[in-house]
Homo-oligomer: A and B are copies of this chain.
Amino acid sequence: MSENMANKKTIGTKQKILKVSSTLFSEYGYKATSVRKIASEVGIRESALYNHFKNKEEIFLCVAKEIFTTPFSQNDSDIKESALKGKAFLQKFAMQYKLLTFDKNNENMFRLLMIELFQNKELREQFMNEFHNENIKVLSEAFFIMMQNSLIRSADPMMVAYEFLSTLFYIRLQITLLRFDSGSTTNLSTQFEKHVEFFWESIRV
């Protein structure tokens, strides 16, 4: 409780290191981010960093841990209920996805994920498990329920989930790319909604 405020200096520094590192790693990647730059932006000397972290990699792992901590899923009973709403469920799901896309912190973590995806085997596995499989699971359960209730045409629920998710991912990637260059995303920002519209027309009975 009082740990948060107790010796603010220590905790503050460690948190500041993580915040700065998070920004730098997600902008330049692991290799191109030097501890020098981190220390400099935090406002301390490099040697002082090592009072808080064993080495550069430990800082990175600490930052990377947050990539997949975004709670995003709904519990099972929630799904069953939501799925019965058909299109509204898809809208809700897509809106959550859109929210993450435009959330500053999630945006950074998504970029970091993309940058390090082919450099880090563990990230690849987490991407597959927690990013892909987790979403597929939720979605295919929902689509299964919709099929049972004849809201949508009959098909492999996993396949439908895959189709729905892949486009969400692609939209997110494109938006993140544009925002990285401070480009306008006005055209793309409605893409999530359009996707739901198109997709619902594609599957409804």
Chain A residues within CB distance 8 Å of chain B: 28-29, 31-32, 111, 114-115, 117-119, 121, 124, 127-128, 132, 153, 155, 159-160, 162-163, 165-167, 169-171, 174, 177, 180-181, 191, 194-195, 198-199, 201-203
Q: Are the CB atoms of B163 and A198 closer together than 8 Å?
A: yes
Count chain B CB atoms within 10 A of each CB in A28, A155, A202 and give the residue with the most. Answer: A202
CA distance A70 to B8 in the complex (A): 56
How many identical chains are in the complex?
2
**A111 contact set on B, CB distance < 8 A:** 118
A interface secondary structure, majority:
helix
How distant is A123 from chain B, measured CB to nearest CB, in Å? 10
Closest to A167 in B: B166
Q: Are the CB atoms of A160 and B32 closer together than 8 Å?
A: no
Could you name 24 residue pairs across A and B whose Cβ atoms are closer than 8 Å? A29-B29, A29-B31, A29-B119, A114-B117, A115-B115, A115-B118, A118-B177, A118-B180, A124-B177, A128-B177, A132-B174, A153-B201, A155-B198, A155-B201, A159-B194, A159-B198, A163-B195, A166-B166, A166-B167, A166-B171, A167-B167, A167-B170, A170-B170, A202-B202
**A191 contact set on B, CB distance < 8 A:** 162
